[in-house]
Structure 1
Amino acid sequence: MEVQTNRVVPDGGYGWVVVAAVALINMTNQSILFVFGQLFVSKLRLMHEDTFTTALITNLNSLALNFSGLFIGPAIKSFKPRNVAATGCVLVSLGLALCAFATESWHFIVGYSFFVGFGLGLISPSTFMAINSYFSSKRGRAVGVSLAGAGLGQVLIPHLVRYLLENHGFRYAVLAMSGLSLTGLFGAAFLKPLNPPAKHNNRRHMRLMAEPDAEKAQSSPLQVVIVPSSQGKGEELPPKNTDTLCGRMGQRLVQAMDLELLKDLAFWSIIVGMALVYTATVNFTMIFPDFLEHTAGLNSQLVAFCLSAMAGADIICRLLLPVITDHLRIPYRVVFLLGTAGLFVARCVLAENQNLATIISMSILMGVMKSATVLNNNLTVSAHCRPDKLAGGLGLNMMSKGVIVITVGQLLGWVRDYADSSVKCLYAQGAVLLLVVIVWTPEIFFRHRRQRRTTSKSMDTTVDAAEEVTKLNS
């Protein structure tokens, strides 16, 4: 028998305080990635480090950020999202403080790549979990407002960094950014989830792993294994008999990280598809300024204008797009798919036509489409996973990004270097995006049709039952 807990989701109220708190955290922490070059590239050049070292620092940062998903599920289950987000802010601040006193390249790898990367990896899913518990029909716009904080930080913080570097030098500029990231602790104090996930008792789990199954059955209540169905809702089955210590540890690991989700092919399709789009977006961000300057032949002012147009469209759509999609009740995954298709079209147009009007219009279009994918990333996972599996689902989604960035991302970089052409790299990115569109479109279509048939049958059954009751009463 399945026990359901009735939850009242306010769709606002104190939830908007949580959204404002997350926006503050994003503005002072997530935007750190945007000013890496402004803060550190000149210092690395003074240390006579080459481009390979700079790329290694940023790639390891992305690796640490995404592979922190390995710990996210157990961390959120063991502690409140507030504590996980606060820990992330402290790690970011500590990593930047270490970079301020760096004298060797490996100091940046430890400080920026690992501490800052791991800290940012803890912040994103924990803040999303806090917002998720307060919103249902308005969840998209709540996430949009919180992510707009990161966009606002990308607009304001570069000017602050420039002022600090020009007037106080590298060390004090980085220390100031370290102190600024700690303001995220003020935001984290307001992250009170309405329905916090059940606490994961690690001490009790370690004790139970050492007990034989017979003793475990007497000392603990009956546990069930959740096997996701094709709809992502899951079915309850009796736990398997695991007599060995390795078996018991494996079962605990599966429960802690919600690895049961990996039995669901639809979940695989979601996390791999979103990881491919994320990788293509990261690669585009790296080559777009070079494309504008050397392939399109734009001067520095026009390059800055195109980048600002794309960023401005991204910020505006983070605020407006969720209002439209929530009102029309468009599924998050469908919006993500439409954004992916739009990014594919924009890349193809840019590769074929490099006149100024086309570049500006496509920059704006890519800002709009990028916001559709960024906004609906975690939302797509939340729509597919049950609430008790959401933390693990977010962690697995991050790990998928880490794996794809290291493999497909490196391949896209090789295409750019081997072909010595930004245009061919745009086509390669377009091929990755098109693959996601081709795989997702029929899958979403058939699932929608099956859901409609199920709903229709349910309504017919309800009508028949009502008619029977009417006949009996008459």
Structure 2
Amino acid sequence: MIRKKTKIIPPDGGWGNLVVLGVTLAIGTGIAPLQVLFSIIFGNFLSEIGDGPSSVATVTSVFAMCFTFTGVLANPLIQRFPLRTISLFGTMLFMSGAVLNIFVTKTWHLIVTFGILSGMGIGIVLPCVLTSFNSYFNKRRAFMNSLAHLGLCPLYIALPVCFQYSLENYGFRGTVAILCAFEANMFIAAIVLSPVEKHAQKEYELVTVAVNGKNIEKETKTNDGDLEKTENETQLSVENTENETKVHDENLENEPKVNDENTGIEIKVFDESSKLTEDTNNSIINPRENEIAPNNDQSGIWQQIIHMFDLTLLHEWKFINLVIGMAMFFYLDLNFLTLSPMFLIRRGFDPKQVAWCVTSAGIGDFVGRFVLTAFSKYIRFKYWYIYFAGSLITFICRNVFLIEMSQKLMLGLFFVTGFGRSLILTPIPILFTERYSIERFPAAWGLYSVTCGFTNIFLGAFIGSIADYFKNDTYTMHTFTIISSVLITTWFIQAYLENRPKKQ
């Protein structure tokens, strides 16, 4: 009998370069408006209708919640539908909110359009884009990921200036319409998600099993013509062997297996009527091994849920430690950059000085992404340690921030903070692929997104209670320090356990 295995080799370029562009456009059109444009465009509008800064926080929180909790749907959707189909659906959902933003008149309108519709849309699109990106690259994955994030820096620098100019010349409605046209670039990010099988090289491996169980012969061909020739020759050999020996199987549905002691390869023996069977389970794009699909007739609802969302990841304490740490560090970093301008004003800095500090952080972010891109071009390293280093840098900077200092020193501190922030944000899309197969990336991303959602709820309420009770910025920053120190300690322990010398 013959078993044909197909292995997909990522092209590490070609059409994958367009997928890299898709990553930049998806993040730049879906996340950037929340980070750098929402307050500029919608802040004055909300003030004019009688709502204060709390309404801004409400809308952005709803967006973040819908974005994070929708991410958990990525794994079951990707198991059933093509990436491009899912992304186009998410893009249409996102754009429906973007179009309706032009006609909002009240805060709750904005909560529905920007918060719910756009938040759910980007929550569906982003996991698909990142999954496609990871499938197109192997050796160059780290470099291309850094390059995609480096392309975001010009957007973050140019968008606030451009849309401030638009507000002054075209008014609120005109600016929102321009924002809608800009966000339509997400369609490009969805369209370029072509299946990697169309652009990758396929390597076929034919495994011939003698029906008497004696020997296993293997041949590997990368050319389809050679493959057909090999198939014909191997089939003749099998037909001659079948004339001498017959395989009796009382239950063909169980597909008995033959194990070769020398090679350790487990091979299925199929019915004689099936001369050639194709198996893609060992594909690099679909490499989940040693996993048994649930039998719907015998497993319960809970087992189906575990399989659908790949909850077996939660059995690993390293995954839990990684996901919780990433979610909390991301939340603390985002809130520090949001609250630090207000802290500086309370400490006597004027608005222009505060603006320069924020700009210095942006420059540091750009330098960090550029350095990471340059190093990843020639040096291969684990991105988990890069993320760890960035978390440690931002942890130190938040503690130094409490010290009174001049504007020049504060500019340097924000530059270093921005540099450390780039080491946190850039590695996120490929952190999971360093430890798990590409097929498990959507599930890992979904669990990470849900963790971020719960972190925003509980950690936000806890830190908000501390700030309201003490009414002192120093205590709020100390809360950041305590939480970060616990996370860094657990990551130090994990790094030690992973790198300690093994006993002989």
Q: TM-score, normalised by structure 1?
A: 0.81
Once residues 375 and 67 of structure 1 are traced to their aligned partners in structure 2, the CA distance between those partners, rounded to angstroms, is 21
**Matches for 1:95-244 after TM superposition, within 5 Å:** 95-194=97-196, 236=290
Contact 1:100 1:174 in 2 (8 A): yes
Matched residue count: 419
Deviation, 1:324, is 1.8
Report whether the alignment pairs 1:294 with 2:326: no
Output the CA distance in 2 between the equivalents of 1:17 and 1:326: 19
Q: Is the 8 A contact 2:125 2:190 kept in 1?
A: no
* Change in 2 beyond 3 A, CA 1:146/1:238: closer
1:15 aligns with 2:19: no
CA–CA separation in structure 2 for the residues paired with 1:173 and 1:352: 40
Matched, 1:397 2:397: no
5 Å-filtered alignment, 1:378-457, equals: 378-449=429-500, 453=502
Offset, 1:51: 3.0
CA distance in 2, matches of 1:4, 1:358: 61
CA drift of 1:35 comes to 0.6
Cα distance change of structure 1 residues 423 and 237 upon mapping to structure 2, 3 Å threshold: same
Q: State the Cα distance separating 1:52 from its structure 2 match.
A: 2.8
User: Shift of the alpha carbon at 1:4?
Assistant: 8.0
2:396 to 345, 348, 353: 345
Q: Helix, strand or coil for the counterpart of 2:500? A: helix
Which is higher, the Rg of structure 1 or of structure 2? 2
Higher relative CO (Cα under 8 Å, sequence separation at least 6) belongs to 2
Once residues 100 and 107 of structure 2 are traced to their aligned partners in structure 1, the CA distance between those partners, rounded to angstroms, is: 12
Q: How far has the Cα of 1:66 moved from its partner?
A: 0.6
* Structure 2 CA distance for aligned equivalents of residues 102 and 220 of structure 1: 61
TM-superposition CA deviations, 1:98-155 (whole Å, max 9, x none): 2221122211110111111112222322221121112223222211222233332222
* CA shift digits 1:266-303 (9 cap, x unpaired): 111111110110110121122011022222x2222221
Q: CA deviation at 1:220?
A: 12
Q: Is the 8 A contact 1:283 1:412 kept in 2?
A: no
Q: Deviations over 1:56-113 (max 9, x none)?
A: 1111111111101221112222233333333333323221222221122211110111
> CA–CA distance in 2 between the matches of 1:418 and 1:42?
29
1:260 maps to 2:312: yes
| 1:213 equivalent in structure 2 | none
Q: CA deviation at 1:238?
A: 5.5
Amino acid of the residue matched to residue 129 of structure 1? T
Alignment partner, residue 77 of structure 1: 79
Consecutive unaligned residues of structure 1, counting only runs of 5 or more, are 197-216, 223-232, 458-474
CA contact (8 A) 1:346 1:362 kept: yes
Instruction: Check conservation: 1:64, 1:121, Cα contact below 8 A.
Output: yes
| Rounded Cα–Cα distance in structure 2 between residues aligned with 1:80 and 1:430 | 43
Alignment partners' CA distance in 2, 1:257 and 1:431: 33
Higher helix proportion, which one?
1
Within 5 Å, give how 1:272-351 maps onto structure 2. 272-295=324-347, 297-325=348-376, 327-351=378-402
Structure 2 equivalent of residue 209 of structure 1 = none
1:52-67 equivalences under 5 Å are: 52-67=54-69
Partners of 1:243 and 1:29 lie apart in 2 by 41
**Deviation for aligned residue 1:167:** 1.7
For 1:276 and 1:317, locate their aligned partners in 2 and report how far apart those are by CA, in whole Å.
21
Change in 2 beyond 3 A, CA 1:325/1:106: same
Structure 2 distance, partners of 1:77, 1:153, is 33
Measure the CA separation in 1 of the matches of 2:183 and 2:345.
Answer: 33
Tell me, what secondary structure is at the counterpart of 2:138? Answer: coil
**Cα shift at 1:195:** 5.1
> How does the TM-score come out when normalised to structure 2?
0.77
**What code does the residue aligned with 1:191 have?**
L
- Give the 3-state SS of the residue equivalent to 2:410 in structure 1: helix
Structure 2 letter corresponding to 1:406: I
- Structure 1 residues 298 and 84: alpha-carbon distance in aligned structure 2, compared to 1, 3 A threshold: farther
Determine if contact 2:98/2:183 at 8 Å carries over to the other structure. no
- After superposing the two structures, state which structure 1 stretch, 117-126 or 34-43, moved more: 117-126
Separation of aligned partners in 1, 2:126 and 2:101: 22
Which residue pairs with 1:249 in the alignment? 301
Residue 47 of structure 2 corresponds to which residue in structure 1? Answer: 45
Spell out, residue by residue over 1:381-440, the C-alpha distance to the aligned partner (whole angstroms, 9 max, x if none).
121222221111111111111111111122122223322222322222122222221001
Q: 1:237 deviation in Å?
A: 6.1
Give the secondary-structure state (helix, strand or coil) at the position aligned to 2:151: helix
Q: Percent identity?
A: 23
Q: 8 Å contact 1:31–1:154 — kept in the other structure? A: yes
Structure 2 counterpart of 1:291, one-letter code: F
Q: Is the 8 A contact 2:369 2:422 kept in 1?
A: yes
Alignment match, 2:25:
24
Tell me the distance in 2 between the aligned counterparts of 1:342 and 1:440.
Answer: 14
Q: Distance in 1 between matches of 2:343 and 2:430?
A: 32
AA partner of residue 98 (structure 2): L
Task: Give ranges in structure 2 of 5+ residues lacking alignment.
Answer: 199-251, 258-286
Q: CA RMSD in A?
A: 2.8
Change over 3 Å in CA distance of 1:195–1:264 after alignment to 2: farther
Query: Per the alignment, in what secondary structure is the counterpart of residue 353 of structure 1?
Result: coil
Within 1, Cα distance between the matches of 2:478 and 2:5? 49
The alignment partner of 1:128 has SS state of helix
| Matched-pair contact (CA < 8 Å) for 1:275–1:400 | yes
Q: Secondary structure at the match of 1:71?
A: helix
CA gap 1:242/1:124 in 2 versus in 1, 3 angstroms: closer
1:16-75 deviations in Å (ceiling 9; x for gaps): 222123223333332111211011111111111133332211111111111012211122
Superposed displacement of residue 185, structure 1? 0.9
> Structure 2 vs 1, CA of residues 271 and 168 (structure 1 numbering), >3 Å: closer, same or farther?
same
Aligned equivalents of 2:191, 2:110: Cα separation in 1 = 29
Distance 1:443 1:302, change over 3 A: same
Residues in 2 aligned to 1:387 and 1:369: alpha-carbon distance in whole angstroms: 27
The code of the aligned residue for 2:189 comes to G
Report the Cα distance in structure 1 between the residues aligned to 2:179 and 2:294, rounded to whole angstroms: 51
Q: 1:114 is aligned with what amino acid? A: I
The answer to whether the 8 Å contact 1:62/1:402 transfers is: yes
